[in-house]
Amino acid sequence: MTISRSESHSHRSSSIYSGSVAGGSPQRRTISSSGLNTPLSPGSPTRTGSSEVGSPAIEANTSLRLERLRKEMKARDLGVYVVPSEDAHQSEYTSPVDQRRAFISGFSGSAGVAVITRDVTCMNDIPEGLGALSTDGRYFTQAASELDANWHLLKQGVEGEPTWQEWAIKEAIQMSLDSGKEVHIGFDPRMITYADIEGAEKLLKESISSHPNSVVKLVPVRDNLIDILWPEFEKRPQREFKSVLYLKPEYTGEGTNCKFARLREKHLTEYGSDTMVLNALDEIAWFLNMRGTDIEFNPLFYSYLMIQGDRMTLYTDNHERFDEYQDYLASIQCELKYYDDVWSDIKNVASELNKKHRNVILTRSGSWRMVNCIVDENFIIVQSPIQGMKEVKNRVELQGQKKAQIKDGLALIRYFSWLEKKLTQDNDFINEYDAGLKLLEFRSKLDNFKGLSFETISSTGSNGAIIHYAPKSEESSLINPNKLYLCDSGSQFLEGTTDTTRTLHFGQPSQEEIDNYTLVLKGQIALAELKFPEGLTGLQIDCIARQFLWANGLDYAHGTGHGVDSYGPVHSMGVGIGFRAYCNDNTVKAGHLISDEPGYYKPGYYGIRLENMVFCEYDDDPKTFNGKRFLKFRTVTKVPYCRRLINVKMLTEKEKEWINNFHRDIWDLYRNKLSRRSWEYQWLKRETNTI
C-alpha cells in the first residue's frame, strides 16, 4: 500500500469496502473488518468501484450542497473556504463523522483538499463560485470519475498545476481586485496545522506583493461549516468513543514509564520545557501502550495528551472504557479529563508557564486552534520526538512483525490458490468484492487477528490502474482470469501490522504485461538488496526502485515505501521512501519498518504493484566509511510472486538467486502446514519452484 500524509498510497477510506452514498439512495451494506454485516450511514455523494473500459461514470451532483455552503460563507463574510481530508488529529484515515471533504466534493479518496469560492461581487439570490479538489497521482483517475462538473481537479506534482494554497490565494486576490473589498479565506482551525497556516501566510504575503491593491486574510472559523449543513442533506454520523485495550509488554517491548524517561532525558531537556501537547493519535497510543477502536482499520482512540513534568493528562470521552485500566493509568501518573477540556487547559497552562518565562511545546501536527489558545504566544513548534522514537522498532516489535507476516502469508497463499482454482478449474464467476470477503474469511481464523489494516484493494483489469481502488458490493467487476489481478491488503495483529501487494494472472498474460511486471520486480529486488551508509533519506534512495522503469520510459505516481507501525496505522509518517517532502525529513535508520512497493499503471488497461515489508538493520560487515556504518534491508513478507508473469531472460543471475532464496524460504516455511493432496499445496509448490 502506497503513501504520504497526503501521499499515503495510503489507500483508503472508511470501513472495508465501505463507500458513502448520496442522500435518498438505497442504504448500502458493507463488511466491516470484524466480519459483521453493518448498515452504512449515508455519506457523501460518491462514485466508487470504477469498472472496465467503456463503462459510463456515475456522477454525483454537489450543486445543492455547494449552494448551501456558499450561503454559510456569505453569512461569515468568507470568499474562500478550505475543507481538508484530515480530522483534528491530522489522521490520514478518518471515521465517517470527519469525512467532510468527501461529503462536499463527492471524492472518496483518502488524500486531498477541497477549496470552495464564493464570488463576493455576485448579487444573485443563489451564490456563485468555483470548486477545486487537489489530490496526488494515486487518485487522479478516481477523482476524475467521482467529481462532478462543479469541480476542477488540481493534480499535485504535475508541472504547471497550482497547489491548493496557490489556487485559493489567486482566486481570493482576484475577487479582492474585482470588488475592491477585503476577502477572507476561512479554515476550521482544528483541522489544519499551524505549520500549514504559516506556509500559507508566507505564500499570501509573496502573492500580495505583486497585487498591492488587493487585501486578503486567512481567518479561523469557529463553527465548521460542513457540520452545519450536513444534517440538511442526510443524517450526520456521530463521533464514537469505543473500547480500548492495554497492549502488554510481550507485544510492546517497552513500558510507558521507560518511554517517558527517554523522552525527558533526550528531548524535553533540549527544548527548555517539560510541557508538551500531543494530538497525533498514533503517537498517543504508542506512548501509552494502549490501543482503541474509534477509527476503522486503525487501533486508535480519540484523545489529546498533555505531558507536564512527570505526569500526564489524557483528554478523551467515555471514561468508563478505561475503568479496568485505572491502576495502570495511576502507575504512569496519567489523569483522565474530558475531550474538549484540552482547549481551556492549554490556555491556562500556557498562561502559568508564561509567568515563569517558559514555553508550551507543540508538534508540527499541532493545530492552528492550539496556537490560538496560547494568548501570550509562548510556544515552540518541534518535530515530534515521539514520532521518531515510535518509528525505530525494538527487538520485541521486530520479532512480532515477523510473526505477523508468517501468519498473514499463510492466509494470502490460501486465498490466491483458492481464487485461481475457482476461476480456472471450477469456472466460477467471482467479483472483486466477494473475493475480498473470502480473503477476510481466511484471515479471521488467525490467532490475534484484530481486523484489516486498510480497505482491501481487489482489482481486475483496468481497475488495477486506479491506485487506491476498492470494490463496492453492488458495483464491483467480475474478476477476469485473462486479465491482471491486483490485490493490496493487510492485517492487524497484536504482534504487528501487515501490508502486502501481489499482482497475478490466471491465464496467459501478454508479453507487455510480463515485461512490465518484471521491471517492477527488478526494482523491488534492487531496493531489497541495497546497502547504503547511515545518514541517507528515503528521498535519496527512491530512485533505486525506479531505475529499470525509467530506463524504459515508465514510472509510477506514488511513493516507493512508507513506514508501518506495530499494531497501529499502516501508514506511519516518521519515515518514507519517495519523492515527497516528508521522505526527506528523516534519515532511514536501523529498526525502521518500511514497505518496498514499486509499480506501473496503464490507465484503462491494467495495474502492476508488488509490495513487501522490509526492516532496516546494520550490515553484517562492520566496515565504516567516514565513521558511518552501512545499512541493509531484510524482507519479512512471505508471499510468492506470480511465476507466469516473470520474464526470466530479463533477470540477472543475482536477481534469480534472490528470487529463488525468497521462494525457498516460503516453501520451507509453509509446506508442512498444507495437505500434500490439496490444491493450495500444489499451487505453492509451482509458484516457489526454482527458476
Question: Would you state the pLDDT for residue 474?
Answer: 86
How far apart (Å, rounded) are the C-alpha atoms in residues 667 and 686?
Answer: 10
Q: How far apart are CA 193 and CA 90, in angstroms?
A: 8
pLDDT at 607 over 70: yes
The pLDDT-based confidence of 649 (bands split at 50, 70, 90) is: very high
pLDDT at 359: 96
Torsion angle in degrees (nearest 10) through CA of 304, 308, 312, 318: -40
2 band by pLDDT with thresholds 50, 70 and 90 = low
> Which strand ranges, in their side-by-side order, compose the sheet holding 496-497?
449-452, 491-493, 496-497
Buried b (16+ CB within 10 A) or exposed e, 140-172: bbbbebbbbebbebbbbeeeeebbbbebbbebb
From 213, 230, 201, select the one nearest 98 (Cα to Cα): 230
- Contact yes or no for 46/106 (Cβ under 8 A): yes
Q: Do domains 29-232 and 395-687 have the same CATH topology?
A: no
Q: Is 17 exposed, middle or buried (0-12, 13-18, 19+ CB in 10 A)?
A: buried
Note the pLDDT of residue 173.
Answer: 98
Give the pLDDT of residue 38.
32
CA dihedral sign of residues 91, 92, 96, 99: positive
| Rounded-to-integer distance, Cα 444 and Cα 438, Å | 10
Q: What residues contact residue 625 under an 8 Å CB cut-off, 6+ apart? A: 533
By mean pLDDT, which of 17-26, 208-217, 288-297 is the weakest? 17-26
Contact 346, 374 (CB under 8 A): yes
* pLDDT band per the 50, 70, 90 thresholds, residue 386: very high
Phi then psi dihedrals of residue 193, to 5 deg:
-75, 155
The model's pTM is 0.90
> Strand, helix or coil at 388?
helix
Q: How far is Cα 235 from Cα 675, in angstroms, rounded to an integer?
A: 51
Average pLDDT rounded to a whole number, residues 364-374: 97
Q: How confident is the model at residue 98 (pLDDT cuts 50, 70, 90)?
A: very high
**Alpha-carbon dihedral sign for residues 570, 574, 579, 581:** positive
**What percent of the chain is predicted at pLDDT more than 90?**
86
Q: What is the arithmetic mean of pLDDT over 618-643? A: 95
How many Cβ atoms sit within 10 Å of the Cβ of residue 545?
27
Instruction: Round to whole Å and give the CA distance between 141 and 135.
Output: 11
Question: Cα 74–104–189 angle (5° rounding)?
Answer: 65
- Give residue 1's pLDDT: 65
Q: How far apart are CA 416 and CA 394, in angstroms?
A: 32
Share of the chain above pLDDT 70, in %: 91
Res. 62 pLDDT band, cuts 50 70 90: very high
> How does DSSP assign 595-641, residue by residue?
EE--EEEETTTEEEE-BEEEEEEE-SS--EETTEEEEEEEE------
pLDDT at 19: 30
Task: Sort strands 275-278 and 360-363 into parallel, antiparallel or unpaired.
Answer: parallel
DSSP-derived 3-state class of residue 520 = helix
Find the range with the poorest average confidence among 122-126, 248-252, 486-490, 665-669: 122-126
Residue 591 burial by Cβ neighbours in a 10 Å radius (0-12, 13-18, 19+): middle
Residue 40 Cα to chain centre, angstroms: 22
CATH topology of domain 395-687: Creatine Amidinohydrolase (3.90.230)
With 80 as the cut, is the pLDDT of residue 13 above it? no
In this model, does residue 634 exceed pLDDT 90? yes
Q: What would you measure as the largest C-alpha separation in the chain, in angstroms? A: 81
Quick one: average pLDDT of 470-486?
Answer: 94
pLDDT band, residue 272 (cuts 50/70/90)? confident
- Residue 436: C-alpha distances to residues 108, 120, 420, 471 (Å): 19, 48, 14, 9
Q: Quote the crossing angle between the two packed helices 543-551 and 511-528, to the nearest 10°.
A: 150
Ramachandran angles phi, psi of 623, nearest 5°: -60, 150
Q: Categorize the per-residue pLDDT at 3 as very low, low, confident or very high, splitting at 50, 70 and 90.
A: very low
| pLDDT, tens digit (0-9, with 9 covering 90-100), for 112-158 | 999 999 999 998 889 999 999 999 988 998 999 899 999 999 999 89
Which residue, 412, 433, 431, is CA-closest to 423? 431
Bridge partners (DSSP) listed for residue 624: 629
Over residues 260-284, mean pLDDT: 92
CA distance 161 to 154: 6
d(CA 306, CA 361): 10
Using alpha carbons, list the distances in angstroms from residue 165 to 80, 132, 186, 280, 321: 11, 11, 12, 23, 41
**Is 162 in contact with 116 (CB distance < 8 Å)?**
no
| pLDDT tens by residue, 152-182 | 999 998 999 999 999 999 999 999 999 999 9
Can you tell me the distance from the alpha carbon of 237 to that of 41, in angstroms, rounded to the nearest whole number? 7
- Count of other CB atoms within 10 angstroms of residue 264: 14
Could you please state the CATH topology (level 3) that the domain comprising 29-232 is classified under.
Answer: Creatine Amidinohydrolase; Chain A, domain 1 (3.40.350)
Q: What is the pLDDT of residues 210-248, one digit of tens each?
A: 999 999 999 999 999 999 999 999 999 999 999 999 999
pLDDT at 60: 58
* pLDDT band for position 475 (cuts 50, 70, 90): confident
Give me the CATH code for the 254-391 domain, please: 3.40.350.10
The kind and range of the H/E element at 577 are: strand 572-577
Give alpha helix (H) positions in 310-431: 326-331, 341-355, 368-373, 385-391, 395-420
Asked whether the beta carbons of 691 and 656 are under 8 A apart, the reply is: yes
Q: What is the pLDDT of residue 269?
A: 83
Alpha-carbon dihedral sign for residues 86, 89, 94, 98: negative
Please state, as a whole number, how many other Cβ atoms lie within 10 Å of the Cβ of residue 56.
7
Closest by CA to 506, choosing from 478, 533, 529, is 478
Residue ranges covered by each domain of the chain? 29-232, 254-391, 395-687
Handedness of CA 658, 659, 665, 668 (dihedral sign): negative
Q: Please report, to the nearest 10 degrees, the dihedral formed by the alpha carbons of residues 75, 80, 82, 88 taken in order.
A: -40
Query: Which tens digits make up the pLDDT trace of 328-364?
Result: 999 999 999 999 999 999 999 999 999 999 999 999 9
Residue 198 predicted with pLDDT over 90: yes
Q: Which pLDDT belongs to residue 468?
A: 86
**Higher pLDDT residue, 56 or 417?**
417
